[in-house]
Amino acid sequence: MANRHHGSARNQRVAVVDMTDIDIPSDELDLPAQETAEVVEEEEVDDDGEADEEDDGQDGIDFDDAPFPPPGLKEISSLASWTVSTAKPGNGVAALRSPDTSLYWQSDGPQPHLLSIHFFKLVSIVHMRIFLDFVNDESYTPTKIQFLAGMGVHDIQQFAEMSFEQPTGWIDVDFSEVGPIEDDDENNSDEGLKEVDWSKRPALRAFLVQVRILENHQNGKDTHLRAVQLFARDEMHQVRRVAPVLSKTPKQNLKAPVSKATSKPLPVHTEPNNIKLASWMMEPDLR
């Protein structure tokens, strides 16, 4: 019996070895290899695509689109104490003050929702803006906001009321009721060729600024506010002005540098002053 089993095993081994001698068309032999190669390539592409999506998710942190103040202004938001009427845990003042606009303040209570900004000294505010995102917030998006200011809680007055439909991005607060705005500045800002002369814009002098959210989209109860920034005039900023070109008359060019080889005055290049002093070079600001 044992010999029979050994004989059958040998026959099976021989049969397996003989299968390699069978003539099979080359196309049929290459087909599985091609299919496996295509499957491997598809898997590699999928893996790369998933990796790219993961990288995009990590790099897709949406910081504020306009982190720097407009030319001629300085942000004074850090000079104030910020308080809110209500807030969900993890979505309070810290999220509102963060430069990352993917974070937001979410209220947790009845309307109106209040944001109070208490300054430690009397400030002159010339510009204010808020960040809203209808695409992500939907029913949490504010549609009617009042802006008030004053010396304290008991004498604050409304200086602007704005209504929105589907706001997205940075929105400038209307300062038309604070004071008149000259037409020349508006034309310059529309052309985008000249900087706004903020010294001619009205200034809101106050200790307290309050943002009052009255209504939300689709009558939503709670609200989302992603960022608020307040600006004052930057007295150290120099408005860019082109220096006058020197005349070619010899009397006015006497002080121009003279070349030793040709004894002719060298050309004088005039350029606008675009240099702004660093913060450590300026005088200390008492806060």
Q: Which residue has the higher pLDDT, 269 or 200?
A: 200
Q: Which residue has the higher pLDDT, 60 or 156?
A: 156
- pLDDT at residue number 180: 82
| H-type alpha helices, the chain | 2-18, 26-59, 93-97, 134-137, 183-191
pTM: 0.60
- pLDDT at residue number 235: 79
Report yes or no: 210 and 173 within 8 Å, Cβ to Cβ: no
73-233 sits in which CATH class?
mainly beta
Report yes or no: 199 and 92 within 8 Å, Cβ to Cβ: no
Tens of pLDDT along 91-124? 999 999 999 999 999 999 999 999 999 999 999 9
Q: Which residue has the higher pLDDT, 286 or 34?
A: 286
Residue 16, C-beta contacts closer than 8 angstroms, at least 6 positions apart: none
Task: Name the strands in the sheet holding 113-125, side by side, starting at the edge strand that comes first in the sequence.
Answer: 80-84, 113-125, 204-216, 142-150, 157-163
Question: What is the mean pLDDT of the segment spanning 9-28?
Answer: 48
Return mean pLDDT, the chain: 74
Residue 206, C-beta contacts closer than 8 angstroms, at least 6 positions apart: 119, 122, 123, 125, 149, 150, 151
Q: Which residue has the higher pLDDT, 269 or 63?
A: 269
- What distance in Å separates the CA atoms of residue 138 and residue 218, rounded to the nearest whole number? 8
- pLDDT at residue number 197: 82
pLDDT at 265 over 70: no
DSSP states along 135-149: HHHGGGSEEEEEEEE
Peptide bond into 112 cis (omega under 30): yes
Question: What is the mean pLDDT of the segment spanning 146-167?
Answer: 94
The β-bridge partners of 175 are: none
- pLDDT at residue number 37: 47
- What distance in Å separates the CA atoms of residue 40 and residue 46, rounded to the nearest whole number? 10
- What distance in Å separates the CA atoms of residue 145 and residue 77, rounded to the nearest whole number? 19
Report yes or no: 217 and 143 within 8 Å, Cβ to Cβ: yes
Considering only 170-174, 235-239, 260-264, which range has the smallest mean pLDDT? 260-264
- pLDDT at residue number 56: 46
Residue given tokens 């917030």 in the structure block: 137
- pLDDT at residue number 256: 53
- What distance in Å separates the CA atoms of residue 162 and residue 127, rounded to the nearest whole number? 15
Q: At 161, is the pLDDT very low, low, confident or very high (cuts 50, 70, 90)?
A: very high
- pLDDT at residue number 20: 47
Report yes or no: 105 and 95 within 8 Å, Cβ to Cβ: yes
Q: At 136, is the pLDDT very low, low, confident or very high (cuts 50, 70, 90)?
A: very high
Structure tokens at 158: 């409304």
